[in-house]
Amino acid sequence: MLGLDLFYLLLGLFLLYAGVVNLRQRRYAHGAFWTLVAGLIAGGNAVLRANAAGDPLPAQCAGAAIIALALLAPRMRREHLAEAPEAQRRASAARLGHRLFGPALMIPVITVLVVLFGEKLQWQGHRLFGDGSITLIGLAFASVLSALAALRVTREKPVMALAEGRRLLDTMGWAAMLPLVLAALGGVFAASGVGEAVASLVAAVIPADNALACVLAYGLGMVVFTVIMGNAFAAFPVMTAGIGLPLLIHQHGANPAILGALGMLTGYCGTLLTPMAANFNLVPAALLELDDPNGVIRAQVPTALPLMLVNLLLMYWLVFAF
């Protein structure tokens, strides 16, 4: 049975590989950083089980590891990592052509299929996919299959997947952890009552009995919070707890599934506009060696603003129509 424990273990082993390689190359900050992350991810379920049993020690160890990560991150220098010569890479791209897109497209396709049908699949009377978020299980399963397909298409050895994955990870550096950290930050904000504070402020500023005003407050709030915190994952629990649930869903009867989907998509418009989303907007500028560090953001503005407007219109129409 395929469960999250297995995929967390695989991810932890890959991060441990990245840490060991960096340590061998005397990139000690990188090595220590990825080794600590490997321990946190691979041992995360053990921490949760220990907390359920009333033992706070593993959680304290995890907190100490996170503080260590914060101290190590500024020491992670972005350096050029060895890769295949440009002529070889161009020749490989010309030989493989559009087949290169196949493994990448497998990830969303397989993830959706697992979400739709995974809970019904069985093998000899046992469920094929275990307990936990079926979406996360599907994404992890799709990523593993995609990596195997990429090896098949390129006819490379499995060690190449590890080497190139580690190279990309080190190229991004600590910014690769931002989506995970910001998602956790959003959960902390929601648990600490920020959502309720937002709800009281919004109710004092806008007419809560006006559905259009609530939709605009929710959608624009998602964009603003995303710009501030750098990721829609952090903004979503705050704005949903503050405006989405009490005002739109409970008071005005909005469809929660449609509201959540369009709310996240609207928040992503803010991701396109902020340097706080360093892994999306600043790291690519550095990798491409752009003269303007905000060049990626400037190129995305003509897409972000019209998309935000369209999302707001769709949200107001669809959440109350279904």
Q: What is the pLDDT of residues 227-246, one digit of tens each?
A: 887 778 878 888 888 888 88
Greatest mean pLDDT among 172-176, 254-258, 286-290: 254-258
Helix (H) or strand (E) holding 248: none
pLDDT at 66: 86
Window from 195-204, 213-222, 228-237 with minimum mean pLDDT = 195-204
Range of the domain at 203: 177-318
Q: Is the dihedral of CA 134, 178, 30, 33 positive or negative?
A: negative
Shared domain for 223 and 237, answered yes or no, is yes
Indicate whether 298 belongs to any domain. yes
Which residues have a Cβ under 8 Å from the Cβ of 126 and sit 6 or more positions away? 1
The pLDDT confidence band at residue 47, using thresholds 50, 70 and 90, is low
Distances (CA, A) of 232 to 117, 211, 265, 286: 28, 23, 8, 23
Q: How far apart are CA 294 and CA 174, in angstroms?
A: 19
Shared domain for 190 and 224, answered yes or no, is yes
Indicate whether 210 belongs to any domain. yes
More confident residue, 1 or 69: 69
pLDDT surpassing 60 at residue 57: no
Q: How far apart are CA 140 and CA 143, in angstroms?
A: 5
Helix (H) or strand (E) holding 126: strand 126-127
pLDDT surpassing 70 at residue 182: yes
Q: How far apart are CA 213 and CA 14, in angstroms?
A: 47
Shared domain for 5 and 135, answered yes or no, is no
Q: Are 32 and 19 in contact (CB under 8 A)?
A: yes
Shared domain for 66 and 108, answered yes or no, is no
Shared domain for 183 and 261, answered yes or no, is yes
Q: Quickly count helices (H) and strands (E) in the chain.
A: 16, 2
Mean pLDDT along residues 33-54: 74
Number of structural domains (the chain) is 3
More confident residue, 283 or 56: 283
Mean pLDDT along residues 152-158: 87
